[in-house]
Homo-oligomer: A and B are copies of this chain.
């Protein structure tokens, strides 16, 4: 079976479940918004960097950040280091979603570990982390 599909299926499972859990907790995010939001660093992140790391154009990233800003999940502050740039920062409102997302992630990992066994789950994680070294354009 095709390696792409093998990766796609569990990835979709994770995305769907985390999004559902977050929204069930009273948030209102779309998949695309979540993907961007997830990549905003603790000190704030530039739009260009968000676009790169999420692999979309800066226009698309800007569009999504606009929505997140309007909904109060992020704010844009001037970047003291560069007059052209602004830093996208996560607000407290969005921060409240982090434990919800983490809880769901932990639940998923626990289920998977139950099915795969501890050893195989650890191998999966390790292999994926190493794979990131050659497939992640943002590292």
Shortest C-beta distance, A136 to chain B (Å), equals 5
A81: CB under 8 A from chain B?
no
Report A1-30 residues with CB < 8 Å from chain B CB.
Answer: 1-15, 18
A63: CB under 8 A from chain B?
no
What residues on B are CB-neighbors of A116 within 8 Å? 127, 130-131
Count, chain A residues at interface, CB 8 A: 41
Whether A136 contacts B4 by the Cβ 8 Å rule is no
Give the docked Cα–Cα distance between A8 and B12 (Å). 8
Contact mask for chain A residues 99-139; partner B; CB cutoff 8 A; 1 contact, 0 none? 00000010011011001100011011111111111111000
Copies of the chain in the assembly: 2
What residues on B are CB-neighbors of A2 within 8 Å? 38, 105
What residues on B are CB-neighbors of A123 within 8 Å? 120, 123-124, 127
Give the docked Cα–Cα distance between A2 and B36 (Å). 14
Q: Point out residues on A near B: beta carbons under 8 Å.
A: 1-15, 18, 38, 55, 105, 108-109, 111-112, 115-116, 120-121, 123-136
